[in-house]
Structure 1
Amino acid sequence: MDSAPPSYQGHRYPVEIISHCVWLYHRFPLSFREVEELLLERGVLVSHETVRRWCAKFGQAYANGLRRRRPRPGDKWHLDEVFVRINGERKYLWRAVDADGNVLDILVQNRRDTAAARRFFRRLLKRAGAVPRVVITDKLRSYGAAHREVMPSVEHRSHKGLNNRAENSHQPTRQRERAMKGFRSVGGAQRFLAAFSGISPRFRPRRHLMTAAHYRAEMTVRFAIWDQVTGVAGLSAAA
């Protein structure tokens, strides 16, 4: 059963403006001030600090709503990790996607050893609520050790050339990291990327595999689901 959209009680701006600001910030490499400027051009006076609070309050709720409406993940999962600079220190961003490129989970950790891989595997299985048929990783040995402990019955393929799906999914994150001039804290990076990975890919279908008509129809459906998640559709129906 679909959950209800988040409550907007106490907010003087309509849900259409709030949801649009959150969408702009997570869909495009924009700063809060740039979102403020885009709204100003439309005659809407919103401060960048208000946009920041809206994204912090509603971003994860919207992402969760989109995930609940997502089809069951495929049975082939791709896992990869990349380093990120957070406040000048090297951390590692672990990511899992299915064969269609849907982000299953992300986790920022201090290391990329067996303990970190084990922690990510267990979290991934819990959040996905399913067990894959195949797990594909690069040749990092920590994956093999964690795989034998956590999911020994699942086939494990370790080959760098097979893991382009996960590696390509890091590109939007790198783009945002540059636009934000890096992340300030581990917690802040985890919170932003958790919401970002649930919202941004939803509006990035594999355009090169679609005709123009198919792409427009697909995006229309996705925007309709966004309106349901944010509560805009409910307001339209009530009117």
Structure 2
Amino acid sequence: MSTSAISYKRHRFPAEIIAHAVWLYYRFPLSLRHVEEMLLERGIVVSYETIRRWGRKFGPDYTGRLRRKQPDRNDIWYLDEVAITIAGKKHWLWRAVDQDGYVLDEIVQTRRNTKAAKRLLTRLLKKQGLAPKRMITDKLRSYGTAKRQVMPQIEHRSHKGLNNRAENSHVPLRKRERSMQGFRSPGSLQHFISIFSAFRNLFVPPRSQRSALGIRTHRLRAMAEWNAVTIGT
């Protein structure tokens, strides 16, 4: 994780307000106008369009500095794809999560075929740096064909019942999709999920830490890392 501070030069509002607005928008199912209203309640007058610009400018910088979970050879990849309609045209969001529900990668594509599955696997291998112990998918045949081309030595289990972890990972985005009334373009969706999922990876505890104490401890550590990244405290 980078230790250099993010520059907020030529911005009228201080770093704390900008970071807080971005955190509210991507962390919770709030619209930009909701965030605008919440800031106004605290005496901070800022338009929702300004909040949108903050998210687009600082969101990628924030998430790029957050610590990523280290890959392990015993990891299990759960892969799935979900249809999302953008401007009347069906697109496919391909997602990979690990055994803890940590989002490894997501990519918006227009196809649901072997080429699209191969692109996801290639990106995953490049980003993770090593192959998993096992990969689990639904019964879409494209996964098996792509797996044989990209990492033939890896065990592959294809069964809808085993893939619930990947399918459940779509739920938070579906909720946001409804509150945002859809996405304007594939590019805007790709930009949003790259930030949205990084926030979830940081703030949502893994399955092994779902006790009350574990959740509280995880959130405190997440907030400490968030503050260190965004405002250097």
Q: Which of the five TM-score ranges fits, normalised by the shorter chain?
A: over 0.9
Stretches of 4+ aligned residues off by more than 4 angstroms: 206-209
1:32 to 2:32 alignment:
yes
Give the match for residue 55 of structure 2: 55
- The CA deviation string for residues 5-32 of structure 1, in whole angstroms up to 9 with x for no partner, is 4221111211111111010000111111
CA contact (8 A) 1:63 1:196 kept: no
Give the match for residue 222 of structure 2: 222
Give the match for residue 113 of structure 2: 113
Post-superposition offset of 1:120 = 1.1
Give the match for residue 170 of structure 1: 170
Give the match for residue 205 of structure 1: 205
Name the SS of the counterpart of 2:101 in structure 1.
coil
CA contact (8 A) 1:203 1:219 kept: yes
- Alignment CA distance shift 1:207-1:123 (3 Å): closer
Give the match for residue 70 of structure 2: 72
Give the root-mean-square deviation of aligned CA atoms: 1.6
How far apart are the structure 1 equivalents of 2:65 and 2:29? 22
CA contact (8 A) 2:102 2:206 kept: no
Identity of paired residues, percent? 56
- Alignment CA distance shift 1:198-1:5 (3 Å): farther
Unaligned runs of 5+ in 1: 234-239
CA contact (8 A) 1:15 1:232 kept: no
How far apart are the structure 2 equivalents of 1:26 and 1:212? 23
How far apart are the structure 1 equivalents of 2:5 and 2:103? 22
Q: 2:85 corresponds to which letter in structure 1? A: R
How far apart are the structure 1 equivalents of 2:207 and 2:94? 26
Post-superposition offset of 1:208 = 9.3
Post-superposition offset of 1:207 = 7.7
Give the match for residue 160 of structure 1: 160
Post-superposition offset of 1:71 = 2.6
Give the match for residue 192 of structure 2: 192
Q: 2:71 corresponds to which letter in structure 1? A: P
Post-superposition offset of 1:105 = 0.4
Give the match for residue 16 of structure 2: 16
How far apart are the structure 2 equivalents of 1:3 and 1:24? 23
How far apart are the structure 2 equivalents of 1:207 and 1:21? 28
Post-superposition offset of 1:2 = 3.2
- Alignment CA distance shift 1:79-1:38 (3 Å): same
Give the match for residue 236 of structure 1: none
Post-superposition offset of 1:175 = 0.4
> Mean Cα displacement is larger for which, 170-179 or 70-79?
70-79
CA contact (8 A) 1:84 1:90 kept: yes
How far apart are the structure 1 equivalents of 2:165 and 2:61? 26
Q: 2:19 corresponds to which letter in structure 1? A: S
1:142 to 2:158 alignment:
no
How far apart are the structure 2 equivalents of 1:29 and 1:168? 17
- The CA deviation string for residues 94-127 of structure 1, in whole angstroms up to 9 with x for no partner, is 0001111110000000011001111111111112
Unaligned runs of 5+ in 2: none
How far apart are the structure 2 equivalents of 1:93 and 1:3? 32
Give the match for residue 89 of structure 1: 89
How far apart are the structure 2 equivalents of 1:84 and 1:119? 18
How far apart are the structure 1 equivalents of 2:98 and 2:200? 16
Q: 2:110 corresponds to which letter in structure 1? A: N
